[in-house]
Amino acid sequence: MDFWPEFLANSWGREFVAGGFGGIAGVFSGYPLDTLRIRQQHSKTGSAFTILRNVVSTEGPSALYKGMTAPLASVTFQNAMVFQIYAVLSRAFDKSVPLSDPPSYKGVALGGFGTGALQSLILSPVELVKIRLQLQNVQAKPPHQRLDSHKGPLGVAKSIMKTEGWRGMYRGLTITVLRDAPAHSFYFWTYEYMREQLHPGCRKSGQESLRTMLLAGGFAGVASWVCCYPLDVVKTRLQAQSPYVPLKYNGIVDCFRKSVNEEGYHVLWRGLGTAVSRAFLVNGAIFTAYEIALRCLFNNGSIHSENAI
């Protein structure tokens, strides 16, 4: 009964819980745009608006939230771990900075890189299940598989384990690490840099406005996606492959080469507009929820007046 009060009494507990609140806010705010991004990357034609109109007319608005249970169920723990690992690594990579000062930009960038690599171990299976669910009515399947087309994330995960094993569950892990390590480095560095530019001195005082949180978080999300987007397209195509049909791609390089040869280099940026729009919205929500939760936990529920819009 005394676990949570004791856990929240230390800085690790606050970072962990605040990160969880941020993750939940991010999933709810941007999931429909994520579904559109995945369908754009997997298809050969169609704008975001065309795909949106077709999805709503043929499958209903709820299809935009298909597969959300998988990331939502894990996102609290995943995002909590991301912010907690980052808090530790950003200090560990530059110990010359006193604990009373914010971590240096060098520590922020290196800490973000390590955080992205480590969190891929959690994220890769979750994204695999999510992508399979989001593409359920898009991929061609044998008749015996169509009966299972509406099963939830647990059903999809069990099916993958049964037919492909752990190797199948972690399909796309390498490309996820290659995407997330540099992306998280840009992510946290951009956030820290932008919040300081928008509100000088706030990294040390912790009293930036909600507007600063939203904008800095939004710019951080955009920067992280732009730097790694071609890798995300390759990852989606690799993880969308089903064992019920012959595999089209035999690896990262093969997927990259075949995609470019068949559809041109522009395929590597397909869906970028949707991804960037979602990134700004989602990461603004994530950092705002994170910062507010952190202040509530540190200040017994009170938030500085500067945080009001």
Q: What is the pLDDT along the chain (309 residues), one digit of tens a residue?
A: 344 444 444 556 788 888 988 988 988 888 888 888 878 777 766 677 788 888 888 888 888 888 777 677 677 788 889 999 999 999 999 889 888 889 999 999 999 999 999 989 888 888 888 888 877 765 545 544 443 454 678 888 888 888 888 888 888 899 999 999 999 999 999 999 999 999 999 998 888 899 999 999 999 999 999 999 999 999 989 888 876 678 888 889 999 999 999 999 999 998 888 889 889 999 999 999 999 998 887 665 444 444 444
Q: What is the pTM of this model?
A: 0.78
Give the whole-angstrom CA distance, residue 207 versus residue 187.
21
How is residue 269 written in tokens? 């940026």
pLDDT in tens, 103-121: 999 999 999 999 999 989 8
Neighbours of 163 (CB within 10 A): 11
For residues 7 and 13, the answer to whether their CB atoms sit within 8 Å is: yes
Nearest to 212 by CA among 232, 188, 196: 196
Q: What domain range is 145 assigned to?
A: 3-307
CATH number at residue 188: 1.50.40.10
- Per the structure, the count of domains in the chain is 1
Which residues, other chains included, contact 283 with Cβ-Cβ below 8 Å and sequence gap of 6+? 26, 187, 217, 218, 220, 221, 222, 224
